[in-house]
Amino acid sequence: MGETALSALRRLRGSGDNSATATADTWRSDRIEAFALLDDARLLQSYRLATLILRDRYEAEDATQEAVEKAWQAWRTLRDRDRFDAWFDRILVNACRNRLRHRRVIRIVPLDDAGSLESHDSHGSTVARLSLEPAFSGLTRDQRVVVVLRFWRDLSIEEISERLAIPAGTVKSRLHYALRALQAALESTRETNR
Amino acid sequence: MTDKHADTERAIRDWLSAEAPVTAPASIRKSLENAASRPPASHGRLGWLSAGRVRPAFRFAAVMALIAVVAAGAYIHQLDRTSPAASQSPSARPTALESVASPSSSAASSLPSGWRLKSGAFPRMVAPAYSGFGQTVFQLPGAGGLMAFVPSTDGVARGGTSGIVLTAFGTAGPTSPASWTTHAFSSVDGLNWKETAALPSDMATVRDVTYSEGTIVAVGWTGVTPNETAVAWTWADLGPWRATKLPAQDKALSGAYDIAGGPGGFLAFGSDGSSSRFWISPDGIKWNVFATPDLPGELLIDRIYGNGYGWEIVGSLQDRSATWQSNRDGSVWTQTWTGPAMGSLGTDLEGYALGRILQAPDLNYVSFGGAYMAPGGNAALPSDTLIWTSTDALKWTESARVPSPGWIQGFASTAHGYVAAGQKVVGLDGMQAYGPLGVWTSGDTTSWTSLPGIESMQKVQVLSVVGSPYQIVVAFTDEQGNLQLLVSGT
């Protein structure tokens, strides 16, 4: 975490009204402590997750910022502080899903550099990149989310179910159809390149 | 797993891993710092209109504004967004915002900067029998966003095999129809509204809405007096609304007035025959009657709030306001505060009530309460406003008593100040005030400034005043049931 962020959090922690009740102090302190978990590494992970779902770094930046602020405002909806990660993931994923929902319309406004993602891939095959990029873009927003949570975040079906507040069966179904589409795209590209 | 599946999954993992960026923009860290260090309340005028930094919600609103412009046929060839820094500049977006906010009436043209009039977005409303117009626009807690529930005869089959006969609108205004559909709309910015599936219940009246864990739950009742049934409606993942009758002993007359999400699920409050009733649900779908033996029988409940420890009740005993806090599952309730008894502050026949709890810009709490007149008292109309402050929303201190700027229907707060809306009192028709729409802003809770440019909006009824850190929405209807919104902060 950067020094500035730490300072801001410490300042807040130290600014509690001494006459406030233990309840008020606890609420504030809990929130500040919990949000201290959002260190640079965690924020980077969140930004990466949003980027993979949205395929657009600027939108991912916006979505992550939106999630941070919503989470701060929505602190009281967190029922169990130990589940902060899952709770924050859900807010972030919902922010991404909302952006994907409106993307069809947004796309009619060309963004010069928004769609381009630099690849740091050194061993991913050209075949995979050629086939997976368009195939992934063709998935529904819900399919994208489960694919990224499953194969990049390495979450279990149950963990994804919890984060998205949907039944495990729905997660499996979305994964099944997404995988089928991605596999077909991979095979098609391989056939073409033979 | 077959080799083919394993290969596919490996390829996906490799590809995703390679595509993920290796660094995050500093603006994300900055957004956390900004959220965590929001400054204390300003004593100036409402300041969010000129805030230096445009928050993500504001930016999203700008995108929504662009959508509206494009939908209206405007030609936008390129959005000047060459870098994140450029996109954060407030000056980069006013064209789109101004376009979406094209005044829909002559009155809007004189609205001050930052305020927009939204009209024509909803079907014409009807007033359910014995209920009148109620709160229509709700601010969802937590994740934010707005919901509007509009009872309307639009979309209701007229006549037909059901034998329903509708009494729609006469020239004098809305009358009470024999049936109606309650249309539901969602919005993130108060300007762009999307209709969801309508509530599945005929003659649905919505009285409160909340949001928790990805589920929106509304409560109210179906039918009209004397045959009303308490109902909860749930909505998640953009699917249809699901209606659930709340269990009641009185099969003829029950209704739910309030709902809040808490650690133990959803808690709703209402009436069952002549008794008050709590209902609890883990998911908004399965509901059970909930006993609260710790609460006094004389308690009149005004509002329920969810918080990190359970639920809070704001209500009143015979002569004073009071608050109670529950544990996580609502099984234990403890009285946390009682206000001054009637007559202890002012005239002997005045009572003092808490209003809706609002979060202050400094993250403490404010409630605009009333100094109401008991029978035989001499409190002036419109009554004074009592400003209560609290650090925990449980225990309250009266900080000021000021004359109400008008006949106030409700208050709301943002990250930078407060808004009140109602009617400017021109005169009293018996006990009922009449006058044009009034909206007032304040940075400090005590000094209020009237919003100019709305004087021509006569004979309106304010239905809702809601706010979030970024926006205020004042919903009002004219005599014909045309719902309009005054929106600020987008």
Q: Which CATH number goes with the domain that contains A50?
A: 1.10.1740
- Same-domain check for residues A31 and A111: yes
Q: Measured between alpha carbons, how far is B217 from B259 in angstroms, rounded to an integer?
A: 8
Give the pLDDT mean for A36-47.
Answer: 81
> Which chain A residue has the Cα nearest residue B261?
A77
Q: Which of A17, A30, A61 sits opposite B391 (nearest CB)?
A: A17
Residue B52: domain span: 47-100
Answer for the pair B251, B261: CB distance below 8 angstroms, yes or no.
no
> Which chain A residue has the Cα nearest residue B364?
A24
Closest approach of chain B CAs to the CA of A28, in angstroms?
A: 9
Left (φ > 0), alpha (ψ -120 to 50) or beta: where does B33 sit? alpha
Residue A30: domain span: 24-115
Q: Measured between alpha carbons, how far is B354 from B372 in angstroms, rounded to an integer?
A: 11
- What SS3 state is found at A168? helix
CB-CB neighbors (< 8 A) of B86 in chain A: none
Position A114 scores a pLDDT of 33
- Same-domain check for residues A188 and A153: yes
Q: Would residue A5 count as lying in a domain? A: no
Four-residue CA torsion sign, B109, B110, B111, B117: negative
Closest approach of chain B CAs to the CA of A111, in angstroms?
A: 7
CB-CB neighbors (< 8 A) of B259 in chain A: none
> Which chain B residue has the Cα nearest residue A5?
B33
Q: Is there a contact between A62 and B59 if contact means CB atoms under 8 Å apart?
A: yes
Position B89 scores a pLDDT of 28
| Selected residue of A6, A11, A17, A23 to mutate for chain B interface (largest B Cβ count, 10 A) | A23
- What SS3 state is found at B352? strand
Furthest C-alpha separation in chain A? 75
- Same-domain check for residues A101 and A170: no
Within 63-102 of A, beta carbons closer than 8 Å to B belong to 63-66, 68-70, 72-80, 90-91, 94, 98, 102
Closest approach of chain B CAs to the CA of A43, in angstroms?
A: 7
- Same-domain check for residues A101 and A131: no
Beta bridge partners of B310: B307
- What does the angle CA B363 – CA B367 – CA B372 come to, to the nearest 5 degrees? 175
- Same-domain check for residues A88 and A128: no
Closest approach of chain A CAs to the CA of B377, in angstroms?
A: 36
Q: Would residue A137 count as lying in a domain? A: yes
Helix (H) or strand (E) holding A26: helix A22-35
Q: Which of B15, B27, B141 sits opposite A61 (nearest CB)?
A: B27
Within 6-25 of A, beta carbons closer than 8 Å to B belong to 8-9, 11-12, 17, 19-21, 23-24
Closest approach of chain A CAs to the CA of B92, in angstroms?
A: 14
Answer for the pair A88, A31: CB distance below 8 angstroms, yes or no.
no
- Same-domain check for residues A139 and A107: no
Closest by Cα among B318, B324, B311, B236 to B279: B311
Q: Measured between alpha carbons, how far is A192 from A127 in angstroms, rounded to an integer?
A: 10
Q: Which of A43, A102, A128 sits opposite B15 (nearest CB)?
A: A128
Q: Would residue A59 count as lying in a domain? A: yes
Q: Would residue A17 count as lying in a domain? A: no
Answer for the pair B241, B231: CB distance below 8 angstroms, yes or no.
no
- Considering its fold, how many domains does chain A have in total? 2
Q: Is there a contact between B18 and A77 if contact means CB atoms under 8 Å apart?
A: no
- Same-domain check for residues A69 and A145: no
| Cβ of residue A33 closer than 8 Å to a chain B Cβ | no
Give backbone dihedrals phi and psi of B259, rounded to 5 degrees, phi first: -150, 145
Beta bridge partners of B261: B266
CB-CB neighbors (< 8 A) of A69 in chain B: 31, 34-35, 55-57
A70, pLDDT greater than 70: yes
Position B340 scores a pLDDT of 83
- Same-domain check for residues A92 and A68: yes
Q: Is there a contact between A2 and B20 if contact means CB atoms under 8 Å apart?
A: no
> Which chain A residue has the Cα nearest residue B12?
A151
Q: Domain end: A90, A115, A140, which one?
A: A115
CATH of the domain at A188: 1.10.10.10
Q: Which residues of chain B have a pLDDT value below 70?
A: 1-3, 35-109, 129-132, 142-144, 155-176, 225, 342-351, 371-383, 426-434, 490
Answer for the pair B241, B234: CB distance below 8 angstroms, yes or no.
yes
Q: Would residue A6 count as lying in a domain? A: no
- Same-domain check for residues A191 and A151: yes
- Considering its fold, how many domains does chain B have in total? 1
Q: Would residue A9 count as lying in a domain? A: no
| Selected residue of A7, A42, A75, A79 to mutate for chain B interface (largest B Cβ count, 10 A) | A79
A183, pLDDT greater than 50: yes
Position B281 scores a pLDDT of 96
Position B95 scores a pLDDT of 24
A33, pLDDT greater than 70: no
Left (φ > 0), alpha (ψ -120 to 50) or beta: where does B2 sit? beta
| Selected residue of A18, A35, A68 to mutate for chain B interface (largest B Cβ count, 10 A) | A68
Cα A78 to Cα A30, A88, B16, B57, B211: the distances in Å are 11, 9, 30, 21, 12
> Which chain A residue has the Cα nearest residue B329?
A79
Spatial CB neighbours of B310, under 8 Å, sequence gap ≥ 6: B262, B263, B264, B325, B326, B327, B328, B329, B330
CB-CB neighbors (< 8 A) of B33 in chain A: 4-5, 8
Position B85 scores a pLDDT of 30
Q: Would residue A40 count as lying in a domain? A: yes
Q: Is there a contact between B14 and A28 if contact means CB atoms under 8 Å apart?
A: no
Q: Is there a contact between A68 and B28 if contact means CB atoms under 8 Å apart?
A: yes
CB pairs under 8 A between A and B: 218
| Selected residue of B392, B397, B399 to mutate for chain A interface (largest A Cβ count, 10 A) | B392
Closest approach of chain A CAs to the CA of B159, in angstroms?
A: 38
Q: Would residue B85 count as lying in a domain? A: yes
pLDDT tier for residue A123 given thresholds of 50, 70 and 90: very low
CB-CB neighbors (< 8 A) of B77 in chain A: 110
Q: Measured between alpha carbons, how far is A128 from A122 in angstroms, rounded to an integer?
A: 12
Q: Is there a contact between B4 and A21 if contact means CB atoms under 8 Å apart?
A: no
Answer for the pair A151, A157: CB distance below 8 angstroms, yes or no.
no
CB-CB neighbors (< 8 A) of A97 in chain B: none
- Same-domain check for residues A35 and A61: yes
Closest approach of chain B CAs to the CA of A134, in angstroms?
A: 12
Position A27 scores a pLDDT of 53
Position B169 scores a pLDDT of 40
Q: Is there a contact between B16 and A152 if contact means CB atoms under 8 Å apart?
A: yes
CB-CB neighbors (< 8 A) of B16 in chain A: 52, 147-148, 151-152
- Same-domain check for residues A47 and A99: yes
Answer for the pair B2, A180: CB distance below 8 angstroms, yes or no.
no
Q: Domain end: A115, A137, A153, which one?
A: A115
Q: Would residue B91 count as lying in a domain? A: yes
Q: Is there a contact between A52 and B13 if contact means CB atoms under 8 Å apart?
A: no
Q: Is there a contact between B56 and A69 if contact means CB atoms under 8 Å apart?
A: yes
Q: Domain end: A115, A137, A171, which one?
A: A115
- Same-domain check for residues A111 and A142: no
CB-CB neighbors (< 8 A) of B470 in chain A: none
Q: Would residue A7 count as lying in a domain? A: no
